[in-house]
Amino acid sequence: MAKLKHLPVCSLLLAVLLLALSSFSAGGNSSVSASAGPLYGIEFPPYNTAVADAGCDGRLVAEEAELARRAPSLKLNMTRRSADTAGTGSLVLDSAKKDAARIGTMHGRRAAPSGAARRKGSRPRRALSERVVATVASGVAVGSGEYLVDVYVGTPPRRFRMIMDTGSDLNWLQCAPCLDCFHQTGPVFDPAASTSYRNVTCGDSRCGLVSPPESPAASTGRKCRKPRSDPCPYYYWYGDQSNTTGDLALEAFTVNLTGAAAGSTRRVDGVAFGCGHRNRGLFHGAAGLLGLGRGPLSFASQLRGVYGGHAFSYCLVEHGSAAGSKIIFGHDDALLAHPRLNYTAFAPAAADTFYYVQLKSVLVGGEAVNVPSDTWGGAKDGSGGTIIDSGTTLSYFPEPAYRAIRQAFIDRMSPSYPLIAGFPVLSPCYNVSGAGKIEVPELALVFADGAAWEFPAENYFIRLEPEGVMCLAVLGTPRSGMSIIGNYQQQNFHVLYDLERNRLGFAPRRCAEV
């Protein structure tokens, strides 16, 4: 018998699905009858139509101080945006569109040459015994499927809320003068208001780590005529209509410390970031993006010498939660002592931005899905691979694997929940109207080294209330052999990036309590 998992699915306020649901209802299928079959499993929580915003400076500071007293680590605060009722209709579609554009960009970047040789120009910093901490929160409140990190930038330091992204390297903020920018919650970063801001010149070796603008519209005709004084222009892209153009610069980032200096802060000078004057894309009110990829310009790489380690971890609260959680630069003793902490090795990669793992099989209801082994491909040879990515909302598998996974759920799902034909975007979807208790087949990913990542039901099924629809939160990537484990599937897991031992760790935790 297929293994089943209870589904206490919280309401998802991601834009893609709910707008799709609105379109579905408008097409004449607005009424969904209740299932006549027996009910089993555990209760779904009631639908929450208004999740409070978590962004208050005083509360964030209090959270950081309390965490500093409890745990010896260096951490940053994350917040996740919650949506009001009026905004839920467009959120899911935006997330799906952005995911699709992002996947295309990642597929192109995968073939980029390794930056290992370019790292020679980076300057090591003296290591400290403390670790860094920041608050992380759900971005649903401002209409996003990403997670946001609070970062303090400049002198005097000002707080900016940035998207946390393990799938890219460049840190950047929208900067004044903003010549072509998206809407942002709060003021943009003003270089003239900071006494520690410095441009990287176009003759600096660090300028070679970014791509220069190529089109006349993006570059405005700028050339490196004075290598020692002309600023270094950059152009960084994420997908269709998602890009940032500006000047590569150095600035002071202020971080919170725990450990020997618990409750204090440390200013880190000379952090390279993009000061973006032209920025376009679905960034949903954030101030910019905090890159946590493997490349030398990422925030994780630049701070490595500060926190004295080669590891960072985060724990993502569930989508729509008003609670905040933490991203930790350095080892977290509580995580390392977790009895259910599991590891899988990072796979070799052709490009040094992404964190690859080697997927071997997918289990649905305890049984391996019939997918040819070569479907999963490999990162190094460019034929595929599986990426762990905090900046992609849903999870994606190559189309042949997705079709097999989808069918496995259809075959193993209880007939108590009628299948909804023709539901937009996601599939399969079920009518669970009136069902107080639900069970779904279990889902697990098995890696080449034998490690298995088992997920709770709320990490791979989305329930839309009050419409009474439940959908599998997985999609296919028809034009790419790449698989992506997105942030929705990572909810309430403490995920560890151990670069010293070249492995990914994961343990189930209530992230609001980390």
Give helix then strand counts, H and E, for the chain.
8, 30
Together in a domain, 224 and 265 = yes
Does residue 121 lie within any of the structural domains? Answer: no
Res 140: pLDDT = 52
Together in a domain, 324 and 336 = no
Q: What gap in Å lies between CA 131 and CA 306, rounded to an integer?
A: 8
Does residue 17 lie within any of the structural domains? Answer: no
Does residue 380 lie within any of the structural domains? Answer: yes
Does residue 301 lie within any of the structural domains? Answer: yes
H-type helices in 255-398, by residue range? 299-302, 304-307, 333-336
Res 405: pLDDT = 97
Together in a domain, 321 and 450 = no
SS3 201: strand
The residue out of 329, 363, 394 marking a domain boundary is 329
Res 109: pLDDT = 55
Does residue 119 lie within any of the structural domains? Answer: no
Nearest Cα residue to 152 out of 67, 257, 30: 257
Please give the average pLDDT of every successive group of 10 residues along the chain, which has 514 residues.
61 43 46 32 28 32 39 56 36 54 56 41 38 65 69 95 92 96 93 97 93 57 79 83 91 77 78 96 86 93 80 89 84 92 90 89 96 81 83 91 96 94 89 86 96 96 81 85 91 95 96 87
Together in a domain, 165 and 242 = yes
Together in a domain, 505 and 356 = yes
Together in a domain, 366 and 293 = no
Res 266: pLDDT = 81
Annotated catalytic residue, options 165, 169, 204, 332: 165
Together in a domain, 313 and 343 = no
Together in a domain, 96 and 140 = no
> Are the CB atoms for 486 and 396 separated by under 8 Å?
yes
Is 498 marked active-site?
no
Together in a domain, 279 and 383 = no
Q: What gap in Å lies between CA 145 and CA 138, rounded to an integer?
A: 8
Tokens of 420: 């909804």
Is 333 marked active-site?
no
Together in a domain, 309 and 337 = no
Domain around 388? 88-103+332-513
Does residue 42 lie within any of the structural domains? Answer: no
H or E stretch at 172: strand 172-174
Q: What gap in Å lies between CA 105 and CA 98, rounded to an integer?
A: 11
Is pTM, for the whole model, over 0.85?
no
Does residue 383 lie within any of the structural domains? Answer: yes
Res 504: pLDDT = 98
Does residue 248 lie within any of the structural domains? Answer: yes
The residue out of 301, 329, 357 marking a domain boundary is 329
Kindly give, in sequence order, each residue whose CB lies less than 8 Å from that of residue 117, ignoring residues fewer than 6 positions away. Answer: none
Res 299: pLDDT = 94
> Could you give the number of structural domains in the chain?
2
Res 86: pLDDT = 33
> Are the CB atoms for 326 and 75 separated by under 8 Å?
yes
Together in a domain, 324 and 337 = no
Res 106: pLDDT = 59
Res 34: pLDDT = 35
The residue out of 286, 312, 329 marking a domain boundary is 329
The letter for the amino acid at 248 is L
CATH of the domain at 148: 2.40.70.10
Together in a domain, 246 and 380 = no
H or E stretch at 269: strand 265-280
Kindly give, in sequence order, each residue whose CB lies less than 8 Å from that of residue 411, ignoring residues fewer than 6 positions away. Answer: none
Res 345: pLDDT = 96
